[in-house]
Structure 1
Amino acid sequence: MDIATIIGLILGFGLIFASIAMGGGGLSPFIDAPSMMIVFGGSISAALINFPLKNVLGSFSVVLNCFFQKIPEPKALIGEFKELAQLARKDGLLALEQKSDSIEDDFMKRGIESLIGGTPADELRETMETELGCIDERHSMGKKFVDAMGAAAPAFGMIGTLIGLVQMLQSLDDPSKIGGGMAVALLTTLYGAVVANVVCIPLAGKLEARAKEETVVREMIIAGVAAIGGGATPRAVEEQLATFMAPKSRADVGAEAA
């Protein structure tokens, strides 16, 4: 679970609700069903027009990456590959079969199983890189979907405001309705700004960061599998995989190994 995403959403909405409560008017003046229909329904309809249905449905699972981290930690990954390299050097690649069932990451597990099955390291690297490219494309599509929602929400908020203003202008003969009509008209702009700036834009940024983080880890896995397939020593595997990490983290790995 990504606590930062949860805290950010709670804090963002909490500050908005707190400012409303401090105004003394209560929450009810800020609730308007037609405005919600225009902003939320309009944003979803724009996304459906932008993307094929299968991509829209697939994007929802990608968005979950903002809340759940499914990729292994680089330090733990290096330790796991060192252990596999040591076993392969000692007993051969077939000995890795006893460890393959305990590998939790599916991408890494498929790579090791292909290595056990006799796939050459160079061919396996190419296959895994192709799969990584497909994973990146799915993540990119998920980010584009959230970006489209974030771009559409303020626009539909403005559309709702214009609709409200037209309806308000039709009742100018009754001044008592002008204030309430203006308030309702402005609510759609508020909803659009909140959806875009509290939800969609931050989630799109988190998806981009998650995609980059996962790409680095997947590239580490590809390098590790190829190194074991090439008969590299555990120390050589560790040094090669450590290059994917920041200098400080790389030093920490070296210190733990020592």
Structure 2
Amino acid sequence: MSAQNRFAQAVQDPASALPQGLTSKGGQNDPLRFAVYRNNVHVSLVTALTRAFPVVRALVGEEFFAAMARVFVAQTKPSSPMLFQYGENFPDFIADFPPAASLPYLSDVARLECAWTRAYHAADDPILTVNALAGLQPSNLLQSRLALHPACALITSRFPVGSIWHAHRQSPPAALGSAGPETVLIARPGLDVVVTVLPHQDTDFARAIMAGATVGDAATASANNADFDLGSALVGLVSLGAFKPSKGNKA
């Protein structure tokens, strides 16, 4: 194991001994100083989670969140040098964290917040516009597969996660407008990330088209819903910035 790897392992594991050959300016081993450095790294990771999951923190409270984050940090080390990417597996951790079992929707809220962070840092690709689709013949449109914009994500939950997220973005929290399952689109059509609860009748269509189905096949997936309208569903997704121009369509 290289000296760099030994140093990283010692920083991440409080039970590890001081790395061999690491000394202070005076040439002495200084485990107390290294412990301070190790603690600073731990605190920085907890702080990164606190910033990335503000609604989760609001739902459980500062004390509970800090305790949960400390347990996660002790078990999970960064896999990327980019600190904003830390916590991608925090939702799965929450789902299996016994003290959070009384809040079964919490992990889905965390997934939404992960998607928000990814959208915020996604590439600045152009957005497919409604005008770009208007010139397509209906048959060509139905056979088209639309390319997802890198900022776009879809969160499906048996809980009203979009309404919960919106309600707890303010203090005090707003009243929930929904109590049932929700499918949420996260996109960045401009400078700001937008979180939208999709109409119930559009969810099957959105899931299918974002999984790679053609527009026609995605419409067929929603055929059993009497309220589904292909035109309004497609225009809605395009207007929200869900897609980017591809070979068959230009912005």
Alignment TM-score, normalising by the size of structure 2? 0.25
Higher strand share: 2
- Which of these two proteins has the greater Rg computed from alpha carbons? 1
Higher relative contact order (CA closer than 8 Å, sequence separation 6+): 1
Alignment TM-score, normalising by the size of structure 1? 0.25
Higher helix share: 1
